[in-house]
């Protein structure tokens, strides 16, 4: 109910580091933004075990009228992800 970007990024980082073996990230909604921010912050060297990602239904957090709790994930990172990813999205 009260997402905080840095907390979510930290949890992604913790989960990746605690995983045994290779990692495939699966994220929905704001989780997609958390994955993108995490990958952007740790860079290519920090994502070595991540083999890919499935990102589903990311909200457009950059809209002017976006809810304040979603705006915490602004701006959407524009750096390409350093691993293969499949994005599933719609306009509804």
Take residue 8 and report the two structure tokens written for it.
Answer: 């979510």
- Tell me what pLDDT residue 91 has: 82
- Tell me what pLDDT residue 1 has: 82
Name residues whose C-beta falls within 8 Å of residue 31's C-beta, 6 or more positions apart in sequence: 8, 55
Enumerate the domain spans of the chain. 5-88
CB 34: neighbour CB atoms within 10 A? 24
Take residue 11 and report the two structure tokens written for it.
Answer: 């949890």
- Tell me what pLDDT residue 68 has: 95
Could you tell me the end-to-end alpha-carbon distance of the chain, in angstroms, rounded to an integer? 21
d(CA 58, CA 30): 6
Please give the model's pTM, rounded to 2 decimal places: 0.94
Per-residue pLDDT of the chain (92 residues; tens, 9 = 90+): 899 999 999 999 999 999 999 999 999 999 999 999 999 999 888 899 999 999 999 999 999 999 999 999 999 999 999 999 999 998 87
- Tell me what pLDDT residue 46 has: 87
């Amino acid at each position: 109910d009260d997402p905080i970007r840095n907390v979510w990024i930290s949890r992604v980082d913790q989960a990746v580091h605690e995983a045994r073996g290779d990692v495939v990230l699966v994220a929905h909604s704001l989780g997609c933004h958390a994955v993108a921010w995490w990958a952007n912050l740790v860079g290519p060297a920090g994502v070595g075990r991540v083999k890919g990602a499935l990102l589903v239904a990311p909200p457009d957090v950059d809209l002017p009228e976006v809810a304040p709790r979603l705006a915490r994930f602004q701006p959407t990172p524009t750096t390409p992800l350093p691993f293969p990813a499949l994005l599933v999205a719609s306009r509804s």
